């Protein structure tokens, strides 16, 4: 229990704002509902039309500062690096700085969420320039031949491999940080995901 700003004791809530309208929310909803212990906690994945990192962070900050949230609530935003340009790097930078200032957690995948899905099958350090590049240059289509961004069945296919994905993501993080010692902002990494950290946060909430 925690104290809401109005003084009432209420359960803590984790708010998760996703850039993707279907893929990430469907995966997260399935992950949360599968474990009875997780369903005892309160998780909210608000529908949002915001589709840039900065817009998502702004949405999370707005909610955090509203009278409807409690001091102990936790806030996450989930988005992709996507193809980097000078403009998109500036957008990522603004989002990252805002999130850090306001206590908003970020789960980012470089280059896209499908890297996290790929890690369910094996370890890779290969960088991809875009979603299309990952799809054409990796074994993704062979591993998930019926993949559909809007399908709830993707999680069912992958759920027994989540432990492997977490291990591979943690190993990838160690590699990427050691291989890019002068880079401290994850949105600049060539191949990276912190999605496993969101799952850890859900488990510990």
> What tens digit of pLDDT does each residue of 149-171 get?
989 899 999 999 999 999 999 99
Res. 63: pLDDT tops 70: yes
Within 10 angstroms of residue 101's Cβ, the number of other Cβ atoms is 10
The whole-number pLDDT of residue 1 equals: 56
Strand order in the sheet with 74-80: 42-44, 13-18, 74-80, 105-110, 192-193
Residue of 77, 52, 78, 51 lying closest to 63 (CA atoms):
77
Residue with tokens 């991809």: 128
Strand partners, 15: 44, 75
Do the beta carbons of residue 193 and residue 109 sit within 8 Å?
Answer: yes
Res. 16: pLDDT tops 80: yes
Structural domain count of the chain: 1
Res. 106: pLDDT tops 80: yes
187-205 pLDDT, tens per residue? Answer: 999 999 999 999 999 999 9
Classify residue 71: in a domain, yes or no: yes
3-class secondary structure, 79: strand
The whole-number pLDDT of residue 130 equals: 95
Classify residue 2: in a domain, yes or no: no
Domain, as residue range, for 85: 11-144+153-204
**Across all residues in the chain, what is the average pLDDT?**
93
Mean pLDDT on 4-20: 81
Q: Is the pTM here over 0.85, yes or no?
A: yes
Classify residue 55: in a domain, yes or no: yes
Classify residue 184: in a domain, yes or no: yes
């Amino acid at each position: 229990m925690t104290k809401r700003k109005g003084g009432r004791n209420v359960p803590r809530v984790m708010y998760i704002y996703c850039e993707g309208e279907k893929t990430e929310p469907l995966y997260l909803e399935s992950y949360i509902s599968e474990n009875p212990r997780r369903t005892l906690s309160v998780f909210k994945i608000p529908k949002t039309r915001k589709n840039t990192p900065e817009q998502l962070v702004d949405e999370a900050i707005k909610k955090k500062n509203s009278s409807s949230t409690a001091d102990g609530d936790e806030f996450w935003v989930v988005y992709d690096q996507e193809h980097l340009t000078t403009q998109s790097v500036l957008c990522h930078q603004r989002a990252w700085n805002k999130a850090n200032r306001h206590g908003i957690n970020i789960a980012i995948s470089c280059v896209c969420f499908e890297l996290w899905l790929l890690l369910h099958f094996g370890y890779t350090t290969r960088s991809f320039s875009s979603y299309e590049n990952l799809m054409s240059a990796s074994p993704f289509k062979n591993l998930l031949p019926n993949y559909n961004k809007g399908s709830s069945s993707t999680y069912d296919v992958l759920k027994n491999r989540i432990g492997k994905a977490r291990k591979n993501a943690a190993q990838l993080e160690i590699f990427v940080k050691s291989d890019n010692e002068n880079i401290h902002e994850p949105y600049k990494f060539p191949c990276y995901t912190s999605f496993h950290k969101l799952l850890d946060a859900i488990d510990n909430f």
